[in-house]
Amino acid sequence: MTELLLTGGRVLRPDLTVERADVLVSQDSGEIVAVDEPGALDGDDELDAESGLVIPGLVNAHTHVAMTMLRGLADDKPLDAWLREDVWPVEAELTPEDIRAGAELGLVEMIRSGTTALSDMYFEVEEIAEAVDQAGMRAVLGFTAVTVGKDEEGARADLQESLDVAKRLDGAADGRIKTTFQPHSLTTVGEGYLREFVPEAFDAGLSMHFHANETRDEVTPILDERGVRPLAYAEEVGLLDGDAYVAHGVHVDESEIDLLAETDTGVAHCPASNMKLASGMAPVQDLLDAGVTVGIGTDGAASNNDLDMFDEMRDAAMLGKLAADDASAVDAGTVVEMATANGADLLGFDSGRIEAGANADLAVIDLDAPHLTPAHDLVSHLAYAVRGSDVRHTVCDGEVLMRDRTVEVFDEAAVRERAAERAAALVERAED
Ligand SMILES: N[C@@H](CCSC[C@H]1O[C@@H](n2cnc3c(=O)[nH]cnc32)[C@H](O)[C@@H]1O)C(=O)O
Ligand SMILES: [Zn+2]
């Protein structure tokens, strides 16, 4: 099988117009070969896009995919208490096998809701990489270093591991996996460690990804201690020197928005997590107006509680309007771009647009549904009305990951069962 034809549907083009067209993709190169009028192209195999809309596969710009294991375990708390009292004690009990099971579960959930690429922060990254390889998806992975509560040796080992993993796994899964150097956040990694290891990561040419300005409690201590805003501090220690994107960026002032724009530092906006943990409202329209590249992420399943990027687009649009006090802010087309082209840009993949030469990362939405009728504006539907369960097929790198809602790359029932069993045992261990 070398060429696959998505036929009979409508196609979302990079300028956000929709036209009736067929899409031909190469399974050898993993790229889109051509987009042409219905019937003009031939393939060796076909995917039926009749009464469907072909869109770029969605890009989840910030998640902790294995945290599906903690879904619904601890809700209704603010970030700091949630991490320290609930999440970290349970995460301390996670085995590599648990992380593999949680990652597979999360990837199946993503495939079923049209996501083809993710940016992940976690540990036991080899397990996550193997799951991504099997899933046939694209990912930016990394080992997240935390130094609070660790002695000097443990702290240094964490940062060294983050460097080593980023070097080791870059280019894995035939280039579908890239990596980032990942200090967890500006308050959970000590200054001395940042000053030592960040330049090393920069010299090694690594991209960087970290949590920043997520809650007010992360801003105040830095301001009090150093007299500068967190992102000014991040710049001082070299975190904005190279190719970097931060998760959240909720509590950023004008000077920090300018700094992000000047240093070409992107933001992975996580609206559901920000609402659920009551972290605050990111000034997304201001960031976009300043020229900052903003993608959308679900964050982990324990603070969302699902990995459905359609939900996330809707949340981003709604919260962006509230934050700007302006119903025209963060409009439908903008969130669709954030979840596709912008996300791909942050992750460094040539995906997120349906055009010859781009990566063949696609999803087909079934439009035959009451909640998608009538079809005045399909971009509006993508932002406000489509659900993950409306995805009929998912394709990444030219390969079919889900056909007619059957996941082809995993035994879905086995993945669910294994994750449920391991999650139950995990909680029992954590309670002992
Ligand atoms: N827990 C490990 C390494 C951290 S992995 C990345 C961490 O980010 C945590 N995390 C998940 N969501 C958020 C968030 O919104 N903000 C900050 N951290 C988060 C997640 O639970 C996980 O512990 C250690 O202490 O050595
Ligand atoms: Zn996070």
For ligand 1, say whether the CB of 138 is within 6 Å of any of its atoms. Answer: no
Which of the 8 DSSP states describes residue 15?
Answer: T
Q: Is 80 annotated as a binding residue?
A: no
Order the strands of the 32-36 sheet from edge to edge: 32-36, 22-26, 3-7, 45-48
> Is the same domain home to 188 and 246?
yes
Domain, as residue range, for 394: 3-56+353-407
> CATH number of the domain that 387 lies in?
2.30.40.10
Judgement on whether residues 262 and 316 belong to the same structural domain of the protein: yes
Q: Is the CB of 184 under 6 A from ligand 1?
A: yes
**Residue 244 β-bridge partners:** 208
Cα 122 to averaged position of ligand 1 atoms, centre (Å): 7
Per-residue pLDDT for the chain (432 aa), expressed as one digit of tens each? Answer: 699 999 999 999 999 999 999 999 999 999 999 999 999 999 999 999 999 999 999 999 999 999 999 999 999 999 999 999 999 999 999 999 999 999 999 999 999 999 999 999 999 999 999 999 999 999 999 999 999 999 999 999 999 999 999 999 999 999 999 999 999 999 999 999 999 999 999 999 999 999 999 999 999 999 999 999 999 999 999 999 999 999 999 999 999 999 999 999 999 999 999 999 999 999 999 999 999 999 999 999 999 999 999 999 999 999 999 999 999 999 999 999 999 999 999 999 999 999 999 999 999 999 999 999 999 999 999 999 999 999 999 999 999 999 999 999 999 999 999 999 999 999 999 988
Where does a domain end: 332, 347, 362? 347
Residues 240 and 363 in one domain: no
- The predicted model scores a pTM of 0.98
CA dist list (Å): 71 to 106, 420, 429? 10, 11, 17
**353 φ, ψ (degrees, to nearest 5):** -150, 145
Query: End of a domain among 347, 364, 384?
Result: 347
* Protein residue with its CA nearest to atom 21 in ligand 1: 87
Q: Determine the pLDDT at residue 1.
A: 60
**321 and 201 within one domain:** yes
Residue 91 Cβ < 6 Å to ligand 1: yes
Task: State in Å: Cα 341 to ligand 2 middle.
Answer: 21
Give the position of tokens 């459905």: 308
Mutate to test the pocket of ligand 1, among 82, 83, 150 (most ligand atoms within 8 A of CB): 83
Q: Strand pairing of 177-183 and 144-145? A: parallel
Cβ–ligand 1 contact at 299 (below 6 Å) = yes
Regarding whether 52 and 62 lie in a shared domain, the answer is no
Residue 209 labeled ligand binder: no
- pLDDT at position 432, please? 83
Q: Looking at ligand 1, which residue's alpha carbon is closest to its atom 7?
A: 122
Look at residues 378, 385, 260 and name the one whose alpha carbon lies nearest to residue 317: 385
**Strands (DSSP E) along 165-256, which ranges?**
177-183, 207-212, 244-248
For residue 24, what pLDDT is reported? Answer: 98
Nearest Cα residue to 304 out of 75, 59, 105: 75
Residue from 272, 317, 215, 319 nearest 71 by CA: 272
**Ligand 1 nearest-atom number relative to CA 185:** 17
Indicate which ligand has the atom closest to the C-alpha of 274.
Answer: 1
Instruction: Provide Rg for the chain, Cα atoms.
Output: 21
Residue nearest ligand 1's atom 25 by CA:
146
d(CA 57, CA 394): 7
Q: What residues have a C-beta under 5 A from ligand 2, the ion?
A: 299
CB of 87 sitting under 6 A from ligand 1: yes
pLDDT in tens, 78-97: 999 999 999 999 999 999 99
CA dihedral 375→378→382→387, nearest 10 degrees, is 30
Contact 273 CB / ligand 1 (< 6 Å): yes
Our count of domains for the chain comes to 2
Before 213, cis peptide (omega within 30)? no
ipTM metric: 0.94
Distance from the first to the final alpha carbon of the chain:
52
* Residue that finishes a domain, picked among 347, 366, 399: 347
Q: Determine whether the shortest distance from the Cβ of 210 to ligand 1 is under 6 A.
A: no
Query: Which ligand sits closest to the CA of 298?
Result: 2
The reply to whether 358 and 209 lie within a common domain is no
CA 143/CA 120 separation, integer angstroms: 9
Integer Cα distance of 318 and 316 in angstroms: 6
Q: How far is the CA of 33 from the centre of ligand 2 (A)?
A: 36
Structure-token match 């992000």, residue found: 260
- Both 251 and 375 in one domain: the answer is no
Cα(188) to centroid of ligand 1, in Å?
Answer: 10
Give the whole-angstrom CA distance, residue 183 versus residue 342.
23
Output the domain CATH number for residue 299: 3.20.20.140
Within this chain, do residues 388 and 305 fall inside the same structural domain, yes or no? no
Instruction: Confirm or deny that 251 is annotated as ligand binding.
Output: no
